Amino acid sequence: MKQALEVQANLSSEFPSLVKCMHPSNVTGGFWVGLPKHFCSKQLPKENRTMVLEDEEGKEFQTKYLVEKVGLSGGWRGFSIAHKLLEGDVCVFHLVKPSKFKVYIVRRKGSDEVDVALGLLKLESSTQQIELEKEPKIFVKTRDKPLENYGMYENRISVEKTGKFLEVLPLDISEKAIQNDRLDLGSEVLDSIKLSESMIDFKEVKNFEDFNILVNGLIIDSEFSKYLKTKYYELCCNQKSFLHENLLEGLNCKLVAGVIAETINIADAIRAAKLTTSHHSFLTWGQTLKSFKGLGMKVGFLSARLDQLMNLSMKSRRYQEARLEQINANEKKRKLEAKLVEVTEALNRLVVDIGSLEEENADRLEILFQEVASAPR
Report CA Rg, the chain.
Answer: 40
Mean pLDDT, residues 314-332: 91
pLDDT at 335 over 70: yes
**pLDDT the model gives residue 362:** 65
Q: Which residue type is seen at 143?
A: R
From the centroid of its chain, how far is CA 346?
74
**pLDDT the model gives residue 303:** 93
DSSP single-letter state for residue 280: H
Please state the length of the chain.
Answer: 377
Whether residue 327 lies inside any domain: the answer is: no
Please tell me whether residues 209 and 284 are part of one structural domain.
Answer: yes
Distance CA 316, CA 322 (A): 10
Last residue of a domain, one of 161, 189, 217: 189
- Look over the chain and give the mean of its residue pLDDT values, rounded to a whole number: 76
Whether residue 332 lies inside any domain: the answer is: no
Whether residue 361 lies inside any domain: the answer is: no
**pLDDT the model gives residue 109:** 64
pLDDT at 188 over 60: no
Please tell me whether residues 157 and 40 are part of one structural domain.
Answer: yes
pLDDT at 270 over 50: yes
Mean pLDDT, residues 332-341: 94
Distance CA 220, CA 180 (A): 24
**pLDDT the model gives residue 197:** 57
Residue 87 pLDDT level (bands cut at 50, 70, 90): confident
Please tell me whether residues 287 and 182 are part of one structural domain.
Answer: no
Q: State the CATH number of the domain containing residue 26.
A: 2.40.330.10
For residue 125, give the 3-state DSSP assignment. Answer: coil
In the sheet with 71-73, reading across from the earlier edge strand, the strands are 17-21, 90-97, 100-106, 49-54, 60-66, 71-73, 33-34
DSSP single-letter state for residue 159: B
Residue 164 domain boundaries: 2-189
Whether residue 356 lies inside any domain: the answer is: no
**pLDDT the model gives residue 179:** 38
Distance CA 257, CA 232 (A): 11
**pLDDT the model gives residue 360:** 64
Whether residue 200 lies inside any domain: the answer is: yes
Please tell me whether residues 231 and 180 are part of one structural domain.
Answer: no
Give the ranges where 61-151 is alpha helix by DSSP (H). Answer: 76-82, 116-121
Residues 125-140: tens digit of each pLDDT: 333 333 333 333 333 3
Distance CA 130, CA 134 (A): 9
Residue 119 pLDDT level (bands cut at 50, 70, 90): very low
- More reliable by pLDDT, 80 or 183: 80
Lowest pLDDT segment from 190-199, 210-219, 261-270: 190-199
**pLDDT the model gives residue 194:** 63
Q: What is the largest CA-CA distance in the chain?
A: 155
pLDDT at 339 over 50: yes
Please tell me whether residues 145 and 234 are part of one structural domain.
Answer: no
Please tell me whether residues 110 and 150 are part of one structural domain.
Answer: yes
For residue 276, give the 3-state DSSP assignment. Answer: coil
Last residue of a domain, one of 155, 189, 223: 189
Q: Say whether pTM exceeds 0.85.
A: no
Distance CA 61, CA 114 (A): 24
Residues 27-47: tens digit of each pLDDT: 876 677 888 888 898 889 888
pLDDT at 172 over 60: no
Residues 287-303: tens digit of each pLDDT: 999 999 999 999 999 99
pLDDT at 313 over 80: yes
Please tell me whether residues 47 and 177 are part of one structural domain.
Answer: yes
Whether residue 334 lies inside any domain: the answer is: no
**Nearest alpha-carbon partner for 24 in 16, 13, 33, 36:** 33
Report the domain count for the chain: 2
The percent of residues above 70 in pLDDT, for the chain, comes to 74
**Nearest alpha-carbon partner for 21 in 5, 10, 9:** 5
pLDDT at 117 over 60: no
In the sheet with 193-195, reading across from the earlier edge strand, the strands are 189-190, 193-195, 218-219, 214-215
Whether residue 87 lies inside any domain: the answer is: yes
Distance CA 17, CA 142 (A): 9
Mean pLDDT, residues 178-194: 41
pLDDT at 212 over 50: yes
Please tell me whether residues 143 and 266 are part of one structural domain.
Answer: no
Residue 349 pLDDT level (bands cut at 50, 70, 90): very high
Residues 140-166: tens digit of each pLDDT: 333 444 443 333 323 333 333 333 333
**pLDDT the model gives residue 221:** 86
pLDDT at 114 over 50: no
Give whole-number Cα distances, 365 to 25, 67, 135, 178, 353, in Å: 130, 138, 117, 135, 17
Residue 215 pLDDT level (bands cut at 50, 70, 90): confident
**pLDDT the model gives residue 57:** 86
H or E element: which one contains 371? helix 300-373
Distance CA 149, CA 169 (A): 13
Please tell me whether residues 207 and 184 are part of one structural domain.
Answer: no
For residue 271, give the 3-state DSSP assignment. Answer: helix
Last residue of a domain, one of 189, 220, 243: 189
Please tell me whether residues 96 and 164 are part of one structural domain.
Answer: yes
**pLDDT the model gives residue 337:** 94
Pairing of strands 90-97, 100-106: antiparallel
Please tell me whether residues 113 and 145 are part of one structural domain.
Answer: yes
pLDDT at 173 over 60: no
Please tell me whether residues 232 and 248 are part of one structural domain.
Answer: yes
- More reliable by pLDDT, 60 or 198: 60
Residue 247 in contact with residue 296, Cβ under 8 Å?
yes
H or E element: which one contains 39? helix 37-43
Mean pLDDT, residues 184-208: 61
Whether residue 355 lies inside any domain: the answer is: no
